[in-house]
């Protein structure tokens, strides 16, 4: 699922408990991260749109996925309440969540461009 993006696991993150920040290791630019579950119907609906947006921005914006079914600890760290959850992660540990229910190509592109 979401095969066009790189899959992340806990080992790909650094956790700064003192400052309560989570960093993507070796991150030098903003990145798009989607938390999903294979059993989630909304995730399956979003997959073609996500892959299309990824193809449009390939080489400009890194795209990653986190399988919430297997990476539950990461879901807890990021306070993921449901799937799919789309985040922009900045190198300084800032996280911006996509909060619109309308996950169209146009809206996803607007969210990414506005927060990059």
Domains of the chain (ranges plus CATH)? Answer: 6-115 (3.40.30.10)
3-state DSSP helix/strand/coil % of the chain, to nearest 5: 30, 25, 45
Q: Output the tens digit of pLDDT for each of the chain's 116 residues.
A: 888 899 999 999 999 989 889 999 999 999 999 999 999 999 999 999 999 999 999 999 999 999 999 999 999 999 999 999 999 999 999 999 998 888 999 999 999 999 98
Q: Going by C-beta distance under 8 Å and a sequence separation of 6 or more, which residues neighbour residue 65?
A: 1, 2, 5, 6, 7, 8, 33, 34, 35, 36
Q: Residue 116 has what pLDDT?
A: 87
| Whole-number Cα distances in Å, 107 to 3, 37, 87, 93, 114 | 21, 22, 14, 24, 10
Regarding pTM above 0.85, the answer is yes
Q: Which residue is it, tokens 């600890």?
A: 73
Angle, CA of 81, 83 and 85, to the nearest 5° = 80
């Amino acid at each position: 699922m979401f095969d066009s993006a790189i899959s992340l696991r806990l080992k790909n993150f650094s956790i700064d408990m003192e400052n309560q920040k989570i960093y993507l290791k070796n991150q030098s630019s903003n990145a798009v991260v989607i938390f999903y579950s294979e059993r989630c119907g909304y995730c399956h609906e979003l997959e073609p749109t996500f892959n299309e947006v990824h193809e449009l921005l390939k080489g400009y914006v890194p795209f990653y996925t986190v399988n919430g079914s297997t990476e539950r600890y990461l879901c807890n760290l990021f306070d993921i309440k449901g799937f799919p959850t789309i985040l922009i992660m900045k190198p300084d540990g800032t996280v911006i969540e996509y909060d619109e229910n309308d996950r169209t190509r146009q809206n996803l592109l607007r969210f990414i461009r506005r927060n990059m």
